[in-house]
Structures are given as C-alpha cells and as structure tokens.
Structure 1
Amino acid sequence: MSSADTHPSTPTPVPSPAALAEALARYRPLFGQVVDEWDGFIDSLCRPLGTCIWSRPGRCDGAVPAAVLAAQGVPSAPVPWLADAPGTALMLPPGFKAGQHWWYCAGLAHAQEAVSQLPVLALDLCPGQRVLDLCAAPGGKTAQIALALGNRGTVLANDFAMDRIAALQGNLDRLGVVNVTTSRCDGGNYPAAAGPFDRVLVDAPCSSEGTLRRNPGLVAKLGPERSTRMAGRQRALLRKAVQLCRPGGRIVYSTCTFAPEENELVVADILAEQDGRLKLLPAPAWADLPGFVGGPGITLWQGRTLPADLAGCLRVWPHANDSGGFFIAVLEKEAAAPGLPEPEPLALALDDEDAEWCIGLAAHYGIAEPIAAQFRAHRQTRRGLHLAARDHVPPAAPRPEGSGLFFHRTNIRPPKLTTAGALLLGPQATRQVLDLDAAAERDAYLRRQTLRPTPAQTAACGSGQVIVRHRGYALGVAVLHRSGELESLFPRKWSGCTAAV
C-alpha cells in the first residue's frame, strides 16, 4: 500500500535543494557509511520521476505498448532490472498520463513506479501458492502477484477503507484478474481463520519519503515524529504476517521511506520477538539485475546497534537507479514453527438459473467453450454474476468484499456484459463484435458518444449488445440500435480514459 503505487493529482512546486537537505538532514550520517553521494541524493529528489508501465501478460507482450507509444511520438525504454517481472516494464517521460490512453482502458498495461515492482520479485512466487497481500490498495502489486501465479489459484488482497478497496477492484477488473478475493480489515487484526499462506506481502503504510520526486509537497510533513507514529502500526502488520505465514513460507516487508524507524528497526523488533522462529534472508541477488544498484540495510542508527544480518535488507536510493526510494526485507518462517489450521472455504455457488445466464451470454457472443467450464462462475449479490479462477478457493473469513471479477449484470433488462467482462471474454467472441479502427471513432466511444458505424462495420452484427474492439482489443460494450446508431455503454467511472489520444 506504499505511496509508490499512486500518482499525485495536482503538481506541487519542487522544494529547493537546501529545503530538502534540511528536511532530510538526519540521514546525512549514513552517507559515507552505507551509501555515497549526499549531493547526488539531494539533487535526484529535485528531478521529476519518469512514468513506468508494465504490459499485461497473457493479453499482450511488451512490444504492443511500445509500438503504440512510438506511433504517438512518446519515447519508451525497457527497464532492464525488471526483466523478470510478470509484465514487460517500460519507462516513459515524466508526467505522462498513462490512464488517459485507450490501451490503458483496454487493460493492456498498468502504471506502477519501477521500484515499487521489486517486492513482488522478492516473494519468489510459483503457481499453486496461496498468497496474502495485507495492504493491497491500489492494487499494482496485487495484480503483479495474481499474474505471476498465472491468474490461477488463490490470492487474498486486503485493505482498510472501502474507497481504497473500490480502487483496488477497479484495477483488477481492468486487467482481467480472476484469482483474487478482496477483504476490508485492519491488517494488524486480520483474522487467523483466513490462514495459512505460503507468501505474505506487507507493503506497509509509511511516511512515503521515497516518493518525494512525485509528491514534493510531503517535504513539509517529514520528521522523526511521523516515523515513530507509523512504526507501531507497521510492527502490528508484520507481526500479523508472521502469524498468518505457513511454516517454511516467506514474508516480504516493504516501505517507500528512508526512515530506519519504519524499516530496519521494525524488522529487528519482530525478529527479536520471534526468538529464532523467523529469519532474515539476504535480499535476492539484486546485483544480478542488469543495471540495478542496491544498497545494504543499516546496522547502526542513532546509537542503537542492530543485528549484523540486517545488512541483508535492501535499500534503494533514488540517485543510484534514477528511481524512487524503497526498503525491502525478506523473511522466512521456520519450518518447525507452529502453524495455523487450513481455513474453511467460502462457497462460490452457481444455481441452475444462473447457469442459464452464462449459457445465454456465450451463445449471444459466439463463445465456444462454456463459461462455467473456464471459470468458477458464481453469484455474490443480486446485481449479477462473478467469475473466479477454477482453482480459486478463498476462505469464509474474513467476509469478502468480492471474489473474482464482476462480469454479467443480471438485475436489469436486458442483462448486460460488464466492461471488465468484455475485456476478459472479448478475445473469445465470434459474434456481435464491432471494430472501431479509426482513432476518432475509438475516442468517441470512450467518451460515451453516439456513433453511426458503416454497414461494413456492422455486417456481422445484429441489433442489440455488441463488444466494441479497437485494433483487435476489446474496449467494452455498446448497443447497436436498429436505426444503425451505436450507443456507447463505456462506464462513467472509467472516465480517466476519456481523454484518449
């Protein structure tokens, strides 16, 4: 949940180097010991940070966004040290608004700061693992986890506020993620009935000092008092992660701050509490990542000597990689440590009437393989039906906010495939598909304007609901009226895409 996943809404004047040096002066003693170039560090914080996106694996490869960007005249470059990430990462110019472009609406890519993608690599994920993202919103890391598992199995994504859960679910829906169940809990009190998990990510709320290049207004809020306040919550989150982790499993603790009070001191306290049942693993072989420069964790802070193995934590300094700042600790729970019982599974039911909805939808769009054979179709609310991965088995507790992807709204007449459902199932559709190849038509659809497609475009469509595509990629749903007009049903809440260019 660190702020490295988010983007500021309005620009704030960049503070002067002198103001930054004063605000961060307490870190000056670290330079020359665990990191070099104090002046380079301060200067890097005065430069805007580039925008980073990653391509959605399984929907397109990295060459697609790169080619589209090149056609728009936008330079992009692969991030070499993220070559092993689930999707191909591309660095774009500072200030580029990825969310205002059609390919973002189509779920071909997601914007996430480059350094923020490292914690998921440290989880060492393999298909079949059961994973908890304890502080998940706005969902970039959750989506990384889900897609690294092949969009199969069971991922739980938790956050504490309803609006944050809504943002999280929106990103998962756009990217076609079906192996995630979301929950709304205080992560420090997450119910033990949900566990155990093979992997737990604690991307903890923090003072966000590492995001100063994107959020320069934070400089007025920095100081040890804020970090001390944050540390109590961070210890509670990491303590809970240890409880929920399966014996022999892995926990990754990360923040986007420089403060040792929120980083090494938190890890040291939890290691001491566990009395040998938890060990700190040396950070993965960051030196093997092309072009990446990682720094060690600190072992001495303001007179407190920390265990020597805390040097195995990873610190990412902005001037070393032209990035934001980040901290990562990789922890392993002893195989002989006590574990939690397996959870009671949540029933994901589909009755006969709901099965008929799935059959009718597949027939309307010419989808050959039955939907219920591809996914765990189920009803969560009276609004309609959701799709989850076939092997997705969420726990009954905590009560989920949602499981899988809301794909078919059945409480209206006629029922309607959702935009997320269209993005997910569109590649399989052979009927009622309408291509908008011209950029002007595409943008009009995204702005919810009425169109009049040509007879050639509608030759394979009857009147009624259609899936709209651009360059072969689904954008959403529309209604083709008998008059020949095309009524866009692109959702207002996805309005960030209405400035598509």
Structure 2
Amino acid sequence: MNPRAPRGSAAALPTPAQVAASPLARYRPLLDDWDAFAAALCRPLPTCVWAQPARISVGDLANLLAEEGIAAYSVPWLPGALRLPEETRAGQHWWYCAGLAHAQETVSQLPALLLDLVPGQRVLDLCAAPGGKTAQIALALDNRGTLIANDISTARIKALQGNLDRLGIVNCTTTCTDGANWPAAGGQFDRILVDAPCSSEGTLRRNPSLIGRFDPGAPARLAPRQRALLRKAVQRLKPGGRLVYSTCTFAPEENELTVADILAEYPAAVRVVPATLPGVITAPGLTHWAGRDLPADLTHCLRIWPHHNDSGGFFIAVLEKDAGTAAGPEPEPAGLDPADGDAWLPELAAHYGLPHDYWAGFRAHRQTRRGLHLMAADHHPPAWPKAEGSGLFFHRTNCRPPKPTTGAAMVFGPLATRCRIALTLGQRDHYLRREQFDPTHDQLSANPPGQVLVTYRGQVLGVAVLHRSGVIESLFPSRWSGCTGGGVVQGLETDDDFAPAL
C-alpha cells in the first residue's frame, strides 16, 4: 500500500516502479544511487517554515510550536527554518496568520541565499509569485530600499501581494508583465533572481499526480522561454552585479543547456561563478548531455537531488556580469501621489500611542481611492513597468471611520501602547472566525470604545472594534477567516513552485 498523499493532494505517492517507468528514468545514468533517488520520490515531503526574523526568532517559534503540540526540527543548513511533520498545514494556524512564519520547501529557500544580498542593493525578482523568495529577499535587505517583484500572471500577483502584506514587507513594488520583455526604462539592478517556470519534476514529492503527467517534450518546449528570461536578466543586470538562475526540475535542457546558450550569447559579459551552500549535499552541473559538450565552468552550478537532503529537486546557477561592461541609464522614478498620505499618520500614532518619530522610516502615498499604501522611505520604484502595488496597503480611507488594514496593524502594532487588547485563547478563535465576542472586565475598563489592536501571546493579530454596547467586533479579513488551529484558512498561499508548467 502506498503511503498517504501529502497535504493538498488527492494523489497517492508513486512507487519506485512508477518512477522507473516515467520520463525520470532518463536521469539514471547521472546517478550512482538510483534506487535511493527513486525511494526518496516515494516518501512524503516534510513541511518547512521559516521565521519572520523581525517578529520572532526561530528558537522562540520552535518553542511556540512545541507548546501547541507540533514537533519542530532545525535544519542545520537553513538557520532560520524549521521542519515540521509532513501532515502539518501551516496556513491553518494562528501564528501563520499573524505573519510569524512562512511555509516554503527547504530547497526553494536556497536561491535567495546565493544572491549575496546586503541592504542598499536594487533587486529584481523576475518570476516572483507567489512570493516566498521575494519575502526572503525583502527581509535580507532589512525591509528597506528597492525590490521589484514581477510576475506575468495577475492572479499570482494577488497571491504574492497577500503573502508580502501578511509578512509586513514595505520595500517591494509588484509589477505584472512578461519578464522576457522587461523594459529598459525599468533600469538595471545589483541583483536579479530568475526562478524560471519549468517542468517542475523536482516537486513530485509535493505533487505526486505529476508522475502520470510528465511530458517528455516539456523541457524542450520550455527552454526557449527560460532562455528569454535569462537573457533579459543579463541585460538588466548592472556591471559587476550578480544573478541567480534556478529551476525545480532535473532536465538539463532547462538547466545547464539554457545557461550554456546564454554564456555563448554573452561570452565577454557574464560568467558562471562557484556556488557553495555549506551543509547542503550538492552535485556539480553537467558538462555533457545528449551528445553535446558544455562549458567546463558549468560544474560550478548546483544540482540538488531529493535523496541527498530529504528535499525536493533543484538546480541553481550563479552568474556575474563583468564590471567593465557599459552601464544602462538610470530609471525614471515613479510619480507617486503623496496626496494626504502623511496627514493620516499622526492621527494613527496618537490613537495607538506610537513613538513620536515612528513614521520617519516610511512614506505614505495614495495609490487607489480605497486608501493609502505605506512603503520604506528609501524605496524608489521605477515609472515603468507600471506598478500593481508599491509597498503595503495600509489604511482604508474610503470607509467611516477609516481603519488600518490587518497587514498594517501587524507592522506598527508591536510598538502600540494604547488601544490594545490581549486576547484569551477562546477570544482568539472568535476573532479569527470573524465573530463578535465579549471582552473581560479588565479589557473593557482599560480601553475606550473604538478601534483597537488585538494580540495573542504578545503577537498582533489585527484590528477590532470595541463597541459601546460592550462587545468586540472582529475586523479580521474574510479571506483569512477560520484560521483557528483546526479551522480552514481561505486564501493563504504557503508554498512556492507548486504549479507545474507542463
């Protein structure tokens, strides 16, 4: 009998015989331990989450999970991450809704580590949705400066923005355009990530139904698109800059051959540089495939096989651009409308008792009639391509009375000193289910009627209304309702690379 299917899938995990009979069999010559590879693909994949470091340490997150009966294990080669039992559905827990963690497969977290990020860099995530790697990049930049997250799909951009808002990201502008045609007017970047759409062979452990749907022609069909994305990334990279190209597939056509073709197009401009991931077992990139000899420096690329690290499969190449190449023009800055943005900030600070200089690190601007967006003061998006969103949707001004969004409450709430209610366990569940509930005597006496922040175990969950009638009304977003530890959460994306491009 097959083990049960992983979370989110109705398909049973494959058997070694099914793996051997699938198109994956063409990789047998690349592996001295084929049986171990096939066996790994037949085991469920552990859930992995990383802690939002501005909100909670990984140690405190592990302790919180343990108190809730969830066994968490550290990942030696991912210091900020924890592995959980594979049946854990992270998005159904209050701590996930509170933006304390994000669920992302271990190997999916590795490309961002190889970008060599430091605050002050201008960064482009060319194929960003649903946003796990984007959030990693944003936080590595200390949630400051300019990060552009692009995706071709409007629906996926919405999922991406939801994740960024939940995690409190204010240094990112989202754009929805074909990454292969990213405009020169958008400027050049110090760092670029191309996590390319691919045949997704490496995600089989999370998406076992793929075993019967692998298309042998998919790698050759997808490779031109991947070359176009990587080509554009080379063009948009600043002299001396670094880009990371990654896929979650084993196919050389989408990996080494794609990189080799771009190296041939730009022989004097870019080079592959050695990539190292301490503690991660990796295999070198291929230098020969299907009768074609490839550049020797492709051995600097990384192949990550599922059985070596109990993970999915991945490919990563790190390229750098020659510092002597000509730089492109600086981008035209976006014309953001400050309107009355900053006028709302002192009122919020006074209502919630924030430090007088709290807003010094932010800029507010009016992007839509609904209200204000908040972004890092040093975030400078380009005029083109047109932004889907710049910063975090922060304050609804089209309602009476105006109110901060849940994402905003999670950003400024930790420093609030008034109009703040600590919930009991039962009140927490009522709040997350969008139900009205009664305050305790102490809660009622300590707060005036009106909008209040609500917290649980010191962590901000969002905004509520304390009515004069003596009840608390939840303003938790309807698309997130049901996040109670045992409930069902709607609209919370958790994993990257889930949708195969077959």
- Shorter-normalised TM range: over 0.9
Give the match's secondary structure for 2:149: strand
How far does the alpha carbon of each residue in 1:345-381 deviate from its partner, in whole angstroms, 9 at most, with x for none?
A: 1133323x43322221221111123554230111111
Contact 1:102 1:500 in 2 (8 A): no
> How far has the Cα of 1:64 moved from its partner?
2.0
How far does the alpha carbon of each residue in 1:157-202 deviate from its partner, in whole angstroms, 9 at most, with x for none?
A: 0001111001000000000000000000011011111121000000
Hey, what does 1:375 align to over in structure 2?
Answer: 362
> How far has the Cα of 1:203 moved from its partner?
0.2
Residue of structure 2 aligned with 1:416, choices 378, 394, 403: 403
Q: 1:329 to 1:496 in 2, by over 3 A?
A: farther
Hey, what does 2:320 align to over in structure 1?
Answer: 332
Hey, what does 1:428 align to over in structure 2?
Answer: 415
Residue of structure 2 aligned with 1:459, choices 441, 445, 458: 445
Contact 2:227 2:258 in 1 (8 A): yes
> How far has the Cα of 1:498 moved from its partner?
4.3
> How far has the Cα of 1:219 moved from its partner?
1.4
Q: For residues 81 and 56 of structure 2, what CA distance do their matches in structure 1 show? A: 12
Give the match's secondary structure for 1:10: coil
Q: Aligned-pair RMSD on alpha carbons?
A: 1.3
Q: For residues 343 and 445 of structure 2, what CA distance do their matches in structure 1 show? A: 28
> How far has the Cα of 1:499 moved from its partner?
4.5
Hey, what does 1:304 align to over in structure 2?
Answer: 292
How far does the alpha carbon of each residue in 1:454-480 deviate from its partner, in whole angstroms, 9 at most, with x for none?
A: 111222211111111101110011111
Give the match's secondary structure for 1:165: helix
Contact 1:346 1:395 in 2 (8 A): yes
Pair 1:82-2:78 in alignment: yes
Hey, what does 2:492 align to over in structure 1?
Answer: none
Contact 1:359 1:371 in 2 (8 A): no
Q: Which has the larger displacement, 370-379 or 244-253? A: 370-379
Counterpart of 1:324 in structure 2: which amino acid? G
Counterpart of 1:418 in structure 2: which amino acid? T
How far does the alpha carbon of each residue in 1:70-121 deviate from its partner, in whole angstroms, 9 at most, with x for none?
A: 11221111111112xxxx1000111210111111111110000011111011
TM-score normalised over the length of structure 1:
0.94
Contact 1:78 1:91 in 2 (8 A): yes
Pair 1:25-2:25 in alignment: yes
Hey, what does 1:243 align to over in structure 2?
Answer: 235
How far does the alpha carbon of each residue in 1:232-284 deviate from its partner, in whole angstroms, 9 at most, with x for none?
A: 11000000000000011001000000000000000000000012211000112
Counterpart of 2:65 in structure 1: which amino acid? L
**1:341-420 superposed matches below 5 A:** 341-351=329-339, 353-370=340-357, 372-420=359-407
Hey, what does 1:191 align to over in structure 2?
Answer: 183
Give the match's secondary structure for 2:412: helix
Contact 2:464 2:476 in 1 (8 A): yes
Counterpart of 1:9 in structure 2: which amino acid? G
**1:71-470 superposed matches below 5 A:** 71-83=67-79, 88-284=80-276, 286=277, 289-290=278-279, 292-351=280-339, 353-370=340-357, 372-436=359-423, 438-470=424-456
Contact 2:9 2:207 in 1 (8 A): no
> How far has the Cα of 1:300 moved from its partner?
1.1
Q: For residues 14 and 473 of structure 1, what CA distance do their matches in structure 2 show? A: 38
Contact 1:446 1:500 in 2 (8 A): no
Q: Which has the larger displacement, 214-223 or 380-389? A: 214-223
Residue of structure 2 aligned with 1:61, choices 27, 43, 57: 57
Q: For residues 318 and 462 of structure 2, what CA distance do their matches in structure 1 show? A: 40
Pair 1:473-2:459 in alignment: yes
Counterpart of 2:138 in structure 1: which amino acid? A
Q: For residues 409 and 65 of structure 1, what CA distance do their matches in structure 2 show? A: 31
Structure 1 residue runs of 5 or longer lacking an equivalent are: 1-6
Give the match's secondary structure for 1:205: coil
> How far has the Cα of 1:130 moved from its partner?
0.3
Residue of structure 2 aligned with 1:497, choices 467, 483, 499: 483
Hey, what does 2:48 align to over in structure 1?
Answer: 52
Q: 1:301 to 1:495 in 2, by over 3 A?
A: farther
Q: For residues 498 and 160 of structure 1, what CA distance do their matches in structure 2 show? A: 33
Q: Percent identity?
A: 63
> How far has the Cα of 1:500 moved from its partner?
4.8
Aligned length: 481
Hey, what does 1:3 align to over in structure 2?
Answer: none
Contact 1:99 1:496 in 2 (8 A): no
Hey, what does 1:4 align to over in structure 2?
Answer: none
Q: 1:61 to 1:160 in 2, by over 3 A?
A: same
Structure 2 residue runs of 5 or longer lacking an equivalent are: 1-5, 488-502
Give the match's secondary structure for 1:202: strand
TM-score normalised over the length of structure 2:
0.94
Q: For residues 73 and 341 of structure 2, what CA distance do their matches in structure 1 show? A: 46
**1:2-21 superposed matches below 5 A:** 9-21=8-20
